[in-house]
């Protein structure tokens, strides 16, 4: 069988093909963010279960963010749980579209989990594009249920109590574990609860004696626990919360400067609030639009009314600040990371 001869393309055909190709390329390049986002759906992934503060904040942002993005895309929040946000971060980096149509509400433990090489981590926290955080620096505390009789931190050094927690890698787990490792507590950590609300309920039912909380949210979400004196706060992160002036900090109870540095790494996510991020590879002009839209959302009178009605602590942490704080976490000394691994693995 002979070979079929392919006719050479005429000069005119080559020229037309080149012209059409250039026109298409220029059309794509010239597409504005408004033209891109118009008619689109932006998927806002939430790395934890329904009902917690990350879920609440993500859904509140989703309600208003689209109105501040040119083209007014629809924002659809959806939970993707697993590993305290690790599954969501893995998906956001490796699988999600890199065009601005995917965002993630990132648990602030993700930088620490990446640095410590936690099992299941396949993302690189340094490659994400930060959009902003609607929550100021978080404040950690350990609360114990009133029926335990615990009054001070010395009590949890004397005998075993149970601490409820989400899986390893979550803040709730880490807060209890660091007290065992560095402060002399004797918690039996009951991990595996899906979300902070499940741990609250477990404490009410008497399944566990206490848990680590983000104090600003806890005192609002479970205000009755505080006013009815159903809980006792026995330790907190530094600096002290204004309404917990009599409660010692983890820094004060730590035995050495080496311990303090490791504790600071374990609680480093507090400085990020509850951040929103886009995956690697999103075009810079679309990132700029998303960041401005986020900042404009924080100024929206309707948004402000909602957060104030819900008594949510809020305050913008811009993308540039989140990037600087993440960079600082990435420079954590190797010794602190190795010591932290003992309670994370």
Together in a domain, 160 and 245: yes
List Cβ neighbours of 237 (8 Å cut-off, separation of 6 or more). Answer: 139, 140, 141, 249, 250, 267, 270
pLDDT value of residue 242:
87
Is the preceding peptide bond at 263 cis, omega within 30 degrees of 0?
Answer: no
Q: pTM here?
A: 0.80
List Cβ neighbours of 133 (8 Å cut-off, separation of 6 or more). Answer: 272, 273, 274, 275, 276, 316, 317, 322
Of the three residues 230, 247, 269, the one that is the final residue of a domain is 269
Size of the chain, expressed as the number of residues it contains: 345
Here the CATH number for the domain that contains residue 244 is 3.40.190.10
Alpha-carbon distance 16 to 296, whole Å? 45
- Is 222 among the domain residues? yes
Residue 73: give the domain boundaries: 37-136+273-344
Of the three residues 269, 289, 314, the one that is the final residue of a domain is 269
Alpha-carbon distance 334 to 77, whole Å? 37
- Is 17 among the domain residues? no
* DSSP state letters, 19-44: HHHHHHHHHHHH--HHHHHTT-EEEE
Together in a domain, 247 and 287: no
Dmax (CA) of the chain:
94
Alpha-carbon distance 150 to 86, whole Å? 34
Q: Token pair of 7, please?
A: 């006719």
C-beta of residue 113 within 8 angstroms of C-beta of residue 169:
yes
List Cβ neighbours of 42 (8 Å cut-off, separation of 6 or more). Answer: 65, 66, 69, 73, 74, 75, 76, 100, 101, 102, 103
pLDDT value of residue 121:
93
Q: Other C-beta atoms within 10 Å of 318: how many?
A: 16
Together in a domain, 129 and 278: yes
C-beta of residue 190 within 8 angstroms of C-beta of residue 227:
no
Together in a domain, 262 and 149: yes
C-beta of residue 45 within 8 angstroms of C-beta of residue 104:
yes
| Conformation bin of residue 59: beta by default, left when phi > 0, alpha when psi is -120 to 50 | alpha
- Is 302 among the domain residues? yes
Q: Token pair of 173, please?
A: 């787990």
- Is 261 among the domain residues? yes
Per-residue pLDDT of the chain (345 residues; tens, 9 = 90+): 443 443 444 444 434 444 444 433 344 445 788 899 999 999 999 998 887 788 999 999 999 999 999 999 999 999 998 888 999 999 999 999 999 999 999 999 899 889 988 889 999 999 999 999 998 877 899 999 999 999 999 999 999 999 999 888 788 999 999 999 999 999 999 998 888 889 999 999 999 999 999 898 898 889 999 999 999 999 999 889 889 999 999 999 999 999 999 999 999 998 999 999 999 999 999 999 999 999 999 999 999 999 999 888 888 999 999 999 999 999 999 999 999 988 877
pLDDT value of residue 167:
82
Count the domains in the chain: 2
Together in a domain, 41 and 128: yes
pLDDT value of residue 30:
56
Give the 3-state secondary structure of residue 244: coil
Query: Which residues face 105 on adjacent strands?
Result: 46, 276
C-beta of residue 44 within 8 angstroms of C-beta of residue 58:
yes
- Is 329 among the domain residues? yes
Together in a domain, 263 and 150: yes
C-beta of residue 37 within 8 angstroms of C-beta of residue 100:
yes
Across the chain, the runs of DSSP E, i.e. the strands, are 41-46, 74-79, 102-105, 129-133, 140-145, 161-164, 187-190, 210-214, 231-236, 275-278, 317-318
- Is 8 among the domain residues? no
pLDDT value of residue 156:
98
Here the CATH number for the domain that contains residue 51 is 3.40.190.150
- Is 313 among the domain residues? yes
Together in a domain, 285 and 301: yes
Together in a domain, 151 and 193: yes
Of the three residues 269, 286, 301, the one that is the final residue of a domain is 269
CA atoms 292, 293, 295, 296: torsion sign? positive
Together in a domain, 263 and 147: yes
**Helices marked H in 131-256:** 153-158, 171-178, 196-205, 215-221, 223-227, 250-253
C-beta of residue 165 within 8 angstroms of C-beta of residue 198:
no
Together in a domain, 192 and 166: yes
Together in a domain, 83 and 111: yes
Together in a domain, 101 and 77: yes
- Is 170 among the domain residues? yes
pLDDT value of residue 28:
46
């Amino acid at each position: 069988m002979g070979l079929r001869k392919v006719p050479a393309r005429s000069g005119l055909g080559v020229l037309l093909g080149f012209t059409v190709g250039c026109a298409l390329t220029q059309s794509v390049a010239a597409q504005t963010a408004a033209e891109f986002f118009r008619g689109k759906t932006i998927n806002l992934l939430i790395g934890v279960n329904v009902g917690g503060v990350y879920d609440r904040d993500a859904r509140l942002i989703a309600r208003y963010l689209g109105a501040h993005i040119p083209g007014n895309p629809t924002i659809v929040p959806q939970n993707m749980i697993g590993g305290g946000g690790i599954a969501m971060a893995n998906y956001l980096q490796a699988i999600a579209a890199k065009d601005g149509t995917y965002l993630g509400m990132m648990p602030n433990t993700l930088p620490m989990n990446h640095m410590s090489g936690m099992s299941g981590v396949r993302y690189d926290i340094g490659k994400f594009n930060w959009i902003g955080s609607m929550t100021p620096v978080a404040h950690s505390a350990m609360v114990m249920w009133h029926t335990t009789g615990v009054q001070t931190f010395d009590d949890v050094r004397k005998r075993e109590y149970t601490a409820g927690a989400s899986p390893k890698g979550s803040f709730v787990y880490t807060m209890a574990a660091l007290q065992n490792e560095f402060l002399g507590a004797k918690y039996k950590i009951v991990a595996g609860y899906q979300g902070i609300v499940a741990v609250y309920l477990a404490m009410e039912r008497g399944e566990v004696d206490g848990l680590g909380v983000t104090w600003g949210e806890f005192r609002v979400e479970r205000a009755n626990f505080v006013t009815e004196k159903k809980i006792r706060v026995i330790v907190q992160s530094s600096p002290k919360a204004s309404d917990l002036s009599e409660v010692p900090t983890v820094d004060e109870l730590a035995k050495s400067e080496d311990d303090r540095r490791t504790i600071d790494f374990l609680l480093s996510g507090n400085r990020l609030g509850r951040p929103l991020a886009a995956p690697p590879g999103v075009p810079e002009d679309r990132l700029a639009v998303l960041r401005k839209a986020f900042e404009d959302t924080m100024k929206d009178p309707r948004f402000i009314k909602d957060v104030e009605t819900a008594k949510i602590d809020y305050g913008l942490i811009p993308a540039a600040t989140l990037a600087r704080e993440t960079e600082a976490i990435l420079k954590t000394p190797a010794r602190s990371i190795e010591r932290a691994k003992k309670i994370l693995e």
